[in-house]
Amino acid sequence: MGYQKHFLIILISLVLTRIISGSEAPGSLVIASHCTSECGGIAIPYPFGIGEGCYYKEKDDLSSSMSITCNHTFNPPKPILGTNIQILNISLKEAEIHLNNKISFKCDKSDNSSYLSYSRINLRTFTISSSKNKFVATGCDTFAWFKGKRYGKNYSTGCMTTCNELNDVANDGRCNGVGCCQASIPDGVTNLKTKAYSYNHHIGVEFNPCSVAYPVANDAFKFSKQNLTQNLSYYLNDRPKFPVVYNWGIGTKNCSEAEKEGSRLCKNNTECINLTHEQQGLDGYRCDCKEGYSGNPYLPQGCQDIDECKENNGGCDKKAHCKNTDGGYNCECLKGYHGNGKGADGCISSNTSLKPVIITAGIGGSIVILLVVGFLLHWINGERRIKKLRESFFRQNGGLILHQKLSSMDALKIFTTQDLEIATDKYNEMNIIGRGGYGIVYKGIIPNNQLVAIKRSLKVDPGQVEQFINEILILSQINNRNVVRLLGCCLETEVPLLVYEYINNGTLYDHLNDEAKAPLFTWNIRLRIASEVAQVLSYLHTTISTPVIHRDMKSMNILLDECYTAKVADFGASRLVPVDQEPLATMVLGTLGYLDPEYMQTSELTEKSDVYSFGVVLVELLTSKKALSYQRPEVERCLAMHFLLKMKEDRLFDIIDKNIANSQGDIEQIKKVANLAKWCLFLKGEDRPTMKEVATELEGIKTMNKHPWQDPKSSFDQENDCEHILRGIPKDDDGSSGGYSGKDSDLYKRPGFISSLGGGR
């Protein structure tokens, strides 16, 4: 008996020691008495806290992102996260924290000096909310970057904005790309860093000396012209900040894993929710009170029952008594009454005679009949409204004009909304085969069992309907085997739907950047693809009646069929250019890494912009490298600039893809294509060749290794021998037995061309 008493005393002592020391597993923590629940009037609920023992911390962690400092040097005091990030609000229900974020800016002074300040928030365990924030940049000579980590990999996005004078800027607070631009933020981004830059040091827009960029909560931003006229002293002295919404979670395990480990914080009357959707960049879970309960779900005691009967009798009928229950309440009718005290009819007298019951039943039956009739009328009226809406969209998107212009030709099919809903299984996400800046592409099957690609384009400006129709007509009439064929369109929806032939072998970008595919992607195939794409651009610029500038030429917009035949796609950014029209002044569109520097600087779009972009594609074909990659060192980040540097240093073969550089018979062709690429990448558009000249030169380079007696219809690169390509055994040309005996073309006779470009080595 004495031993038992002694053992009991020891056991109680051990339990008390563990509670006092706080060494229990997370979730059984007893909040210390010294913990405060607010700072400067802002609530600091657990799992956040001020001071040791007051916040949640993973076992064995030396620090915690939930630890908050109350800085009393301010009046009133300010809650601070990390080193200097001010907290504005913490939401347990939404698992969100609102932080005050400094802006990034670059200001140019009159003495040609500049001041650059960037913003950085390193919060590894918090992700910025994609639905409640946006990235904004303001200025008239501005481009800005938003960078971070997304699922463990580097991520970046950005936008640009230019304007010539303050009157160009909208006066109604719109952020429309003139003086202000904005970009969406994806889910799962942590460790934010924003930077603002200028293209021309704000020369010519002295009224706007500063470029500014920052992420901001959707409801906390409204653009104003005044944003453009602030100078450096304003940003240095006032140090503007904007609220940003972040998501947070508990721990690094999901609900079931934390439950097995015994560390889950969600206790009585709570539910555990795994982090999903825009919180996917986080590990862990969050807690919430069950319906009918309130309080802090992260505290050991869990959530407490809400007494709904305390106020206004719980909303019960006047002839009912409210009775609180655990997690809910009941409305019990008083004596002499029956029914549902919570319902709309409330409690009714138990002495009700049969006649009122019959009357009530008759009225109820009449109401049911009226409801059914009303529903049928509403359904019929709804069908009419839908039909009228489709007709309205059809007219808005130029359907009547299109029908009129197609009446004399069989060039394009007009699909209905039902046709394309059936083809895509109601636009099932499983059928998405591509996303881009100009729409989403779905794979579908139309009634004749033909595979098609269906593109949901961006909204068409009603003022540009005529131009949109002209573009559809031109694409439908293009008769070029190397352009993805437009089969038809649907104009009954708010945004037009375009139906293209389906190309089944991916993009040029896929093949160049796939380590398994690149070795089979021989020089002959690459040279043929380059020639085919050049012929298409030359055709668009010079052959058709109204020239077309593609404006987004890149390897991702060059599709390949099973025989590696090139198919140029995605004319969503293209512009029609009448022959006698001056250069187009447009908002700069395209893809970074391929954009013409002169076009970016002047906003004037010409055919030479396509030439520059095609030059980048040529460099991709030569190197099998991405046009822009933040995984590479800074000097190699932009492929075009890195390529030109290697050409200048006469070290071409340091950058050429080893899969093609080892073939001695192709060396001269590779050098000539490299020189042609460099010509296309000249800074000034007037110094670049036309696409017709480029196409001619590539045809000449292709014939270099042909025997003079070789049949011109037979191609050295298997244009007519698809079987070899499908086997993965491309046929090699034997340049050793004959070789190119002709002279260089006119391109290489241009004064200073060879000496200025360098031949590589």
Kindly provide the b/e burial profile for residues 213-223, where b requires at least 16 CB atoms within 10 angstroms of the residue's own CB: bbbbbeeebeb
Residues 6+ apart with CB under 8 A from 277: 187
Residues of the chain by 3-state class (helix, strand, coil), percent to 5:
35, 25, 45
Residue for token pair 């290489």: 748
Nearest Cα to 691, choosing from 482, 549, 486?
A: 549
Rounded to an integer, what distance in angstroms lies between the CA atom of residue 201 and that of residue 114? 8
Rounded to an integer, what distance in angstroms lies between the CA atom of residue 702 and that of residue 695? 11
What is the four-CA torsion angle of 423, 428, 434, 440, rounded to 10 degrees?
Answer: 80
Rounded to an integer, what distance in angstroms lies between the CA atom of residue 158 and that of residue 145? 4
Rounded to an integer, what distance in angstroms lies between the CA atom of residue 160 and that of residue 217? 20
Rounded to an integer, what distance in angstroms lies between the CA atom of residue 628 and that of residue 76? 48
Give residue 443's identity as a one-letter amino acid code: K
Rounded to an integer, what distance in angstroms lies between the CA atom of residue 566 and that of residue 559? 6
Residues 6+ apart with CB under 8 A from 407: none
DSSP 8-state code for residue 86:
E
Alpha helix positions (H), 266-416: 354-396, 399-406
Tokens describing residue 340: 């549902």
Distance from chain centroid for Cα 59: 36
Rounded to an integer, what distance in angstroms lies between the CA atom of residue 327 and that of residue 634? 60
Q: Torsions phi, psi of 486, nearest 5?
A: -80, 120
The DSSP H or E segment spanning 669 is: helix 667-680
**What are the residue numbers of the active site?**
552
First CA to last CA across the chain, in angstroms? 96
Residue for token pair 């006092």: 20
CB neighbour class for 469 (10 Å; exposed up to 12, middle 13-18, buried from 19): buried
Rounded to an integer, what distance in angstroms lies between the CA atom of residue 444 and that of residue 434? 13
Answer yes or no: are the C-beta atoms of 283 and 252 closer than 8 Å. Answer: yes
Strand 49-50 versus strand 42-43 pairing type? unpaired
Rounded to an integer, what distance in angstroms lies between the CA atom of residue 230 and that of residue 577? 39
Q: Tell me if residue 753 falls in helix, strand or coil.
A: helix
Q: Torsions phi, psi of 128, nearest 5?
A: -75, 135
User: How is 432-487 classified by DSSP, letter by letter?
Assistant: EEEEETTEEEEEEE-TTS-EEEEEEEPPPPGGGHHHHHHHHHHHHH---TTBPPEE
Answer yes or no: are the C-beta atoms of 54 and 35 closer than 8 Å. Answer: yes
Answer yes or no: are the C-beta atoms of 329 and 294 closer than 8 Å. Answer: no
Give 253-257 contacts, CB < 8 A, sequence gap 24+.
253/283, 253/284, 253/285, 254/283, 254/284, 254/285, 255/285
